[in-house]
């Protein structure tokens, strides 16, 4: 049994996963893993190398010689691509467009899922993405499916982009989100879907603090129940030393 649980947060684009996962991790003292950032880093490198969606072989070869790492720096998560900090570069609209096809290849997913499992195995991790509770760590102790109305998600992403100086209309952002959701849910490998045992948290009318409180609350309930279960097993003499 892991000492600390794994918290898996899945959900569609701009449902608030990153903000929530970062704050939940901070409150619990856990590690935050943004798996979308890892796929984005690979997409950035594919763009740098001029690899298109039809170049499977070149993409495969590229993935084999690419090092993607997430590191915590000053309470923030930095993304490193072959040792270079690409945290800001992976948020460009070009990367957002390219990641939609880069992440569909099974060899890309296998390579990233391997790294993600290594990061999660000791527990004490808040991992967010599209397939965390279904494929990456189906045995995660706490599973959340974060959702929100598409119009609200579009408004949030639009505000975010405007703050970064990206000139785009609200309609374009909504169309882009709808298209990405469609691709993410319809793709063959590891599509976006809710794990049967994930709790849906609809953030449409929740504040960030409320959604963070809700998930931290779920982790606390899990920990309290686990303590009870361990005490019960002890009282029934069911906990035997592993020899």
* Contacting positions for ligand CDP (CB under 6 A): 13-14, 18, 35-37, 39-40, 99-100, 103, 129-131, 180, 184
Q: How far is the CB of 186 from ligand CDP (least distance, A)?
A: 11
Nearest approach in angstroms of CB 7 to ligand CDP is 14
- Quick one: 152 or 226, whose CB is closer to ligand CDP? 152
Q: Which of 113, 47, 36 is nearest to 79 (CA)?
A: 36
Q: Shortest Cβ distance from residue 182 to ligand CDP (Å)? A: 11
Measured from the CB atom, is 173 or 218 closer to ligand CDP? Answer: 173
- Minimum distance from residue 149 beta carbon to ligand CDP (Å): 15
Closest CB to ligand CDP among 96 and 212? 96
In terms of CB distance, is 193 or 216 closer to ligand CDP?
193
């Amino acid at each position: 049994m892991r000492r600390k649980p794994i918290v898996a947060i899945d959900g569609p684009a701009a449902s608030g996963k990153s903000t929530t996962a970062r704050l939940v991790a901070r409150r619990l003292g856990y590690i935050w893993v943004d798996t979308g950032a890892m796929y984005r880093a690979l997409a950035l490198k594919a763009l740098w190398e001029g690899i298109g969606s039809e170049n499977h072989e070149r993409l495969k070869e590229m993935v084999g010689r690419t090092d993607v790492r997430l590191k915590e720096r000053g309470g923030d998560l930095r993304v490193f691509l072959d040792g270079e900090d690409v945290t800001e570069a992976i948020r460009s609209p070009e990367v957002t467009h390219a990641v939609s096809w880069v992440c569909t290849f099974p060899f890309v997913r296998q390579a990233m899922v391997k790294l993600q499992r290594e990061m999660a195995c000791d527990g004490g991790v808040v991992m967010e993405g599209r397939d965390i509770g279904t494929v990456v760590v189906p045995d995660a102790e706490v599973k959340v499916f974060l959702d929100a109305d598409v119009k609200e998600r579009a408004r949030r992403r639009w505000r975010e982009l405007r703050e970064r100086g990206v000139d785009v209309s609200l309609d374009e952002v909504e169309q882009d989100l709808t298209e990405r959701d469609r691709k993410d849910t319809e793709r063959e490998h590891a599509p976006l879907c809710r794990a049967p045992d994930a709790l849906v948290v609809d953030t449409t009318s929740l504040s960030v603090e409320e959604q963070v409180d809700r998930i931290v609350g779920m982790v606390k309930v899990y920990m309290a129940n686990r303590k009870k279960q361990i005490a019960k097993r002890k009282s029934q003499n069911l906990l035997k030393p592993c020899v």
